[in-house]
Amino acid sequence: MVSSKLSVLRKHPIFCDLEPEALDQLCRYAKHITLKRGASIFCKGDPGNSMFAVISGTVKISVSSPDGRNAILNLIGPGEIFGEIAVLSGEPRTADAIANAQCEIFVIDRREFLPFVKSQPALSMKFIQLLCERLRRTSEQVEQIILQNLPGRLASALIGLTEKRKLEPANHTIAITQQEISEMVGMTRESINKQLRAWAARKWVRLEHGAIVVLDVGSLRELAEAGSCEDA
Protein backbone atom coordinates (compact mmCIF):
# COMPACT_ATOMS: atom_id res chain seq x y z
CA MET A 1 0.00 0.00 0.00
CA VAL A 2 2.88 2.39 0.77
CA SER A 3 4.35 1.89 -2.71
CA SER A 4 0.94 2.48 -4.34
CA LYS A 5 0.48 5.65 -2.30
CA LEU A 6 3.89 6.87 -3.40
CA SER A 7 3.09 6.11 -7.03
CA VAL A 8 -0.18 8.06 -6.95
CA LEU A 9 1.17 11.04 -4.98
CA ARG A 10 4.30 11.24 -7.12
CA LYS A 11 2.11 11.67 -10.22
CA HIS A 12 -0.17 14.22 -8.56
CA PRO A 13 0.42 17.73 -9.97
CA ILE A 14 0.28 19.29 -6.50
CA PHE A 15 2.71 16.87 -4.85
CA CYS A 16 4.92 15.67 -7.73
CA ASP A 17 7.82 18.08 -7.00
CA LEU A 18 8.20 17.17 -3.33
CA GLU A 19 11.53 15.77 -2.18
CA PRO A 20 11.48 11.99 -1.54
CA GLU A 21 11.61 12.47 2.24
CA ALA A 22 8.66 14.87 2.18
CA LEU A 23 6.72 12.52 -0.10
CA ASP A 24 7.35 9.66 2.34
CA GLN A 25 6.06 11.82 5.17
CA LEU A 26 2.92 12.78 3.23
CA CYS A 27 2.37 9.08 2.46
CA ARG A 28 2.20 8.33 6.17
CA TYR A 29 -0.53 10.94 6.57
CA ALA A 30 -2.67 9.81 3.62
CA LYS A 31 -5.46 7.35 4.37
CA HIS A 32 -6.87 5.38 1.44
CA ILE A 33 -10.66 4.91 1.25
CA THR A 34 -13.08 3.58 -1.37
CA LEU A 35 -16.56 5.06 -1.77
CA LYS A 36 -19.64 3.82 -3.58
CA ARG A 37 -21.55 6.09 -5.98
CA GLY A 38 -23.80 8.45 -4.01
CA ALA A 39 -21.78 8.30 -0.79
CA SER A 40 -21.55 11.60 1.07
CA ILE A 41 -18.00 12.78 1.77
CA PHE A 42 -18.92 15.98 3.58
CA CYS A 43 -21.85 18.41 3.81
CA LYS A 44 -22.11 22.18 3.73
CA GLY A 45 -21.47 23.52 7.23
CA ASP A 46 -19.28 20.60 8.34
CA PRO A 47 -15.91 21.47 9.89
CA GLY A 48 -12.99 21.37 7.46
CA ASN A 49 -11.07 18.60 9.17
CA SER A 50 -9.62 16.89 6.10
CA MET A 51 -8.37 17.44 2.57
CA PHE A 52 -8.90 14.91 -0.20
CA ALA A 53 -7.06 13.74 -3.34
CA VAL A 54 -8.95 11.77 -6.00
CA ILE A 55 -7.26 8.59 -7.25
CA SER A 56 -10.11 7.29 -9.42
CA GLY A 57 -13.74 8.15 -10.06
CA THR A 58 -15.44 11.54 -9.86
CA VAL A 59 -16.58 13.67 -6.92
CA LYS A 60 -19.44 16.15 -7.29
CA ILE A 61 -19.22 19.47 -5.43
CA SER A 62 -22.71 20.97 -5.16
CA VAL A 63 -25.11 23.11 -3.17
CA SER A 64 -28.87 22.79 -2.77
CA SER A 65 -31.74 25.15 -2.00
CA PRO A 66 -34.44 24.57 0.65
CA ASP A 67 -36.90 23.65 -2.12
CA GLY A 68 -34.65 20.86 -3.38
CA ARG A 69 -32.96 22.47 -6.38
CA ASN A 70 -29.31 21.56 -6.92
CA ALA A 71 -26.39 23.43 -8.46
CA ILE A 72 -23.18 21.60 -9.36
CA LEU A 73 -20.18 23.84 -8.73
CA ASN A 74 -17.48 21.43 -9.83
CA LEU A 75 -16.72 17.85 -10.84
CA ILE A 76 -13.42 16.66 -9.36
CA GLY A 77 -11.61 13.85 -11.19
CA PRO A 78 -8.42 11.80 -10.84
CA GLY A 79 -5.32 13.89 -10.15
CA GLU A 80 -7.30 16.68 -8.47
CA ILE A 81 -7.77 17.65 -4.85
CA PHE A 82 -10.76 19.12 -3.03
CA GLY A 83 -11.71 20.31 0.42
CA GLU A 84 -8.55 22.39 0.69
CA ILE A 85 -10.31 25.75 1.18
CA ALA A 86 -11.93 24.84 4.51
CA VAL A 87 -8.76 23.06 5.63
CA LEU A 88 -6.57 26.10 4.96
CA SER A 89 -9.06 28.71 6.24
CA GLY A 90 -10.38 26.83 9.25
CA GLU A 91 -13.93 27.78 8.25
CA PRO A 92 -16.86 25.36 7.71
CA ARG A 93 -17.46 23.63 4.38
CA THR A 94 -19.19 25.82 1.81
CA ALA A 95 -20.71 22.98 -0.26
CA ASP A 96 -21.53 19.27 -0.30
CA ALA A 97 -19.14 16.64 -1.71
CA ILE A 98 -20.65 13.39 -3.04
CA ALA A 99 -19.07 10.44 -4.84
CA ASN A 100 -20.45 10.74 -8.37
CA ALA A 101 -19.14 7.25 -9.22
CA GLN A 102 -17.26 4.60 -7.30
CA CYS A 103 -14.22 6.49 -6.04
CA GLU A 104 -10.85 5.90 -4.52
CA ILE A 105 -9.52 8.86 -2.58
CA PHE A 106 -6.77 9.80 -0.17
CA VAL A 107 -7.80 11.61 3.03
CA ILE A 108 -5.28 13.81 4.83
CA ASP A 109 -6.12 15.18 8.28
CA ARG A 110 -5.87 18.96 8.80
CA ARG A 111 -3.89 18.56 12.03
CA GLU A 112 -1.13 16.82 10.13
CA PHE A 113 -1.42 18.65 6.84
CA LEU A 114 -1.09 22.28 8.02
CA PRO A 115 2.31 21.79 9.72
CA PHE A 116 3.44 19.84 6.64
CA VAL A 117 2.48 22.70 4.28
CA LYS A 118 4.26 25.22 6.51
CA SER A 119 7.44 23.15 6.20
CA GLN A 120 7.22 23.07 2.39
CA PRO A 121 7.28 26.61 0.89
CA ALA A 122 7.07 25.30 -2.70
CA LEU A 123 3.91 23.38 -1.79
CA SER A 124 2.43 26.54 -0.30
CA MET A 125 2.95 28.30 -3.66
CA LYS A 126 1.18 25.48 -5.46
CA PHE A 127 -1.82 25.89 -3.18
CA ILE A 128 -1.85 29.63 -3.84
CA GLN A 129 -1.92 28.85 -7.57
CA LEU A 130 -4.72 26.32 -7.02
CA LEU A 131 -6.81 28.82 -5.06
CA CYS A 132 -6.28 31.41 -7.81
CA GLU A 133 -7.51 28.87 -10.36
CA ARG A 134 -10.58 28.18 -8.20
CA LEU A 135 -11.31 31.92 -7.99
CA ARG A 136 -10.88 32.34 -11.76
CA ARG A 137 -13.22 29.40 -12.36
CA THR A 138 -15.84 30.92 -10.04
CA SER A 139 -15.59 34.28 -11.82
CA GLU A 140 -16.08 32.56 -15.18
CA GLN A 141 -19.15 30.72 -13.90
CA VAL A 142 -20.71 33.95 -12.61
CA GLU A 143 -19.95 35.68 -15.91
CA GLN A 144 -21.55 32.85 -17.90
CA ILE A 145 -24.71 32.83 -15.79
CA ILE A 146 -25.15 36.61 -15.95
CA LEU A 147 -24.06 37.37 -19.51
CA GLN A 148 -24.54 34.25 -21.62
CA ASN A 149 -27.72 32.67 -22.92
CA LEU A 150 -28.33 28.91 -22.80
CA PRO A 151 -26.33 27.96 -25.94
CA GLY A 152 -23.34 30.03 -24.81
CA ARG A 153 -23.48 28.65 -21.27
CA LEU A 154 -23.80 25.05 -22.40
CA ALA A 155 -21.01 25.41 -24.98
CA SER A 156 -18.74 26.98 -22.33
CA ALA A 157 -19.47 24.12 -19.93
CA LEU A 158 -18.69 21.43 -22.51
CA ILE A 159 -15.47 23.15 -23.61
CA GLY A 160 -14.44 23.60 -19.98
CA LEU A 161 -15.00 19.92 -19.21
CA THR A 162 -12.99 18.74 -22.23
CA GLU A 163 -10.10 21.06 -21.33
CA LYS A 164 -10.18 20.22 -17.64
CA ARG A 165 -10.05 16.49 -18.27
CA LYS A 166 -7.30 17.03 -20.89
CA LEU A 167 -9.19 14.71 -23.21
CA GLU A 168 -7.49 13.50 -26.36
CA PRO A 169 -8.72 15.30 -29.52
CA ALA A 170 -9.94 12.00 -30.97
CA ASN A 171 -11.92 11.11 -27.86
CA HIS A 172 -13.79 14.07 -26.40
CA THR A 173 -16.12 11.88 -24.35
CA ILE A 174 -17.44 13.55 -21.20
CA ALA A 175 -18.94 11.17 -18.64
CA ILE A 176 -21.83 13.34 -17.50
CA THR A 177 -25.61 13.05 -17.55
CA GLN A 178 -27.91 15.71 -18.98
CA GLN A 179 -29.36 16.23 -15.49
CA GLU A 180 -25.88 16.91 -14.11
CA ILE A 181 -24.97 19.38 -16.83
CA SER A 182 -28.34 21.12 -16.35
CA GLU A 183 -27.37 21.61 -12.70
CA MET A 184 -24.01 23.03 -13.80
CA VAL A 185 -25.41 25.69 -16.15
CA GLY A 186 -28.61 26.51 -14.26
CA MET A 187 -31.18 25.43 -16.86
CA THR A 188 -33.83 22.70 -16.99
CA ARG A 189 -32.97 19.24 -18.23
CA GLU A 190 -35.58 19.66 -20.97
CA SER A 191 -33.87 22.80 -22.28
CA ILE A 192 -30.48 21.06 -22.17
CA ASN A 193 -31.85 18.04 -24.04
CA LYS A 194 -33.41 20.22 -26.75
CA GLN A 195 -30.17 22.15 -27.30
CA LEU A 196 -27.99 19.04 -27.32
CA ARG A 197 -30.28 17.35 -29.85
CA ALA A 198 -30.02 20.41 -32.10
CA TRP A 199 -26.23 20.22 -31.89
CA ALA A 200 -26.30 16.46 -32.46
CA ALA A 201 -28.21 17.09 -35.71
CA ARG A 202 -25.36 19.41 -36.75
CA LYS A 203 -22.76 16.78 -35.80
CA TRP A 204 -21.30 19.05 -33.13
CA VAL A 205 -21.93 16.44 -30.40
CA ARG A 206 -23.06 12.83 -30.08
CA LEU A 207 -25.32 11.77 -27.21
CA GLU A 208 -24.61 8.52 -25.43
CA HIS A 209 -26.03 6.93 -22.29
CA GLY A 210 -24.52 8.87 -19.39
CA ALA A 211 -22.09 10.73 -21.64
CA ILE A 212 -21.71 13.48 -24.25
CA VAL A 213 -19.14 13.16 -27.03
CA VAL A 214 -17.88 16.50 -28.37
CA LEU A 215 -17.33 16.16 -32.14
CA ASP A 216 -16.79 19.77 -33.21
CA VAL A 217 -14.82 21.66 -30.58
CA GLY A 218 -14.26 24.64 -32.90
CA SER A 219 -17.97 25.37 -33.44
CA LEU A 220 -18.72 25.10 -29.72
CA ARG A 221 -15.76 27.34 -28.88
CA GLU A 222 -16.98 30.01 -31.32
CA LEU A 223 -20.42 29.86 -29.73
CA ALA A 224 -18.99 30.03 -26.22
CA GLU A 225 -16.83 33.03 -27.09
CA ALA A 226 -19.75 34.81 -28.75
CA GLY A 227 -21.97 34.11 -25.77
CA SER A 228 -25.10 33.94 -27.89
CA CYS A 229 -26.19 32.97 -31.36
CA GLU A 230 -29.41 33.80 -33.16
CA ASP A 231 -29.42 30.46 -34.95
CA ALA A 232 -28.24 28.28 -32.07
User: What are all long-range contacts of 125-133, with beta carbons under 8 Å and residues at least 24 apart?
Assistant: 126/14, 126/17, 127/14, 127/84, 127/88, 130/14, 130/81, 130/84, 131/84, 131/85, 131/88
| Res 2: pLDDT | 54
The pLDDT tens digits of the residues spanning 169-211 come to 556 888 888 999 999 888 889 999 999 999 999 999 999 988 8
Q: Which fold has domain 148-226?
A: Arc Repressor Mutant, subunit A (1.10.10)
Place 227 in a pLDDT band, splitting at 50, 70 and 90.
low
Report residue 77's pLDDT band, with 50, 70 and 90 as the boundaries.
confident
Q: What is the rounded distance in angstroms from the CA atom of residue 49 to the CA atom of residue 210?
A: 33
How confident is the model over 114-142, as pLDDT tens digits? 999 888 888 888 888 888 888 888 887 77
Contacts of 46 (CB under 8 A, 6+ apart): 92, 93
Confidence band, pLDDT 50/70/90 cuts, at residue 149: confident
Give the residue extent of every domain in the chain. 2-143, 148-226
CB 214 within 8 A of CB 220: yes
> Mean of the pLDDT values across residues 151-170?
76
What pLDDT, on a 0 to 100 scale, did the predictor assign at position 171? Answer: 62
**Taking 60 as the threshold, does the pLDDT of residue 228 lie above it?**
no
CATH architecture of the domain formed by 2-143: Sandwich (2.60)
Q: Which string of DSSP letters, residue by residue, matches 8-28?
A: HHHHSTTTTTS-HHHHHHHHH
pLDDT confidence of residue 69: 83
The percent of the chain in helix, strand and coil, each rounded to the nearest 5, is 45, 20, 30
Instruction: Say how far apart CA 76 and CA 68 lie, in whole Å.
Output: 22
Q: Determine the pLDDT at residue 229.
A: 45
